[in-house]
């Protein structure tokens, strides 16, 4: 990939062939960047405060809760990606979360990776606004 096509949307067929773990890997970074941007833009100033709040918002437990908030608003295609992420085999689960929380977090990350690579940045913002409105 060259820098010229770094932010170019990928065709849906290409994304359906991509592994769900790859989408989750990217989606994890996208979600964390959105959280950090939100916190920096909304008054959190001290680095220690920013770090503590961002860690609490991107934990598997918090992401699972966020997944539950957006699930009713997903389109059929989005729900299909979400389900693929939720059903993906996980080699290990962090001690701080349950299997269910970790699977839901992976589903959320997969969806965010999919939407990012699809160029659906407005949709990402819309779903993220739902999440933070409950915060």
Question: Which residues are known to be catalytic?
Answer: 28
Closest residue by Cα to residue 7 from 24, 26, 28? 26
CA distance 135 to 18: 32
Both tokens of residue 80? 């299909």
Are 26 and 116 within 8 A, CB to CB? yes
3-state helix, strand and coil shares in percent for the chain, rounded to the nearest 5? 75, 0, 25
CA distance 22 to 113: 8
DSSP 66: H
């Amino acid at each position: 990939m060259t820098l010229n096509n770094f932010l170019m949307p990928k065709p849906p067929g290409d994304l359906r062939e991509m592994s769900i773990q790859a989408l989750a890997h990217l989606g994890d970074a996208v979600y964390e960047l959105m959280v950090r941007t939100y916190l920096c833009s909304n008054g959190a100033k001290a680095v220690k405060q920013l770090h503590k709040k961002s860690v609490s918002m991107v934990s598997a437990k918090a992401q699972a809760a966020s997944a539950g908030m957006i699930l009713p608003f997903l389109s059929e295609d989005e729900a299909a990606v979400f389900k693929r992420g939720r059903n993906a085999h996980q080699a290990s689960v962090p001690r701080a979360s349950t299997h269910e929380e970790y699977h839901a977090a992976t589903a959320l990350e997969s969806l965010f990776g999919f939407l990012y690579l699809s160029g659906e940045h407005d949709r990402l913002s819309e779903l993220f606004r739902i999440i933070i409105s409950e915060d």
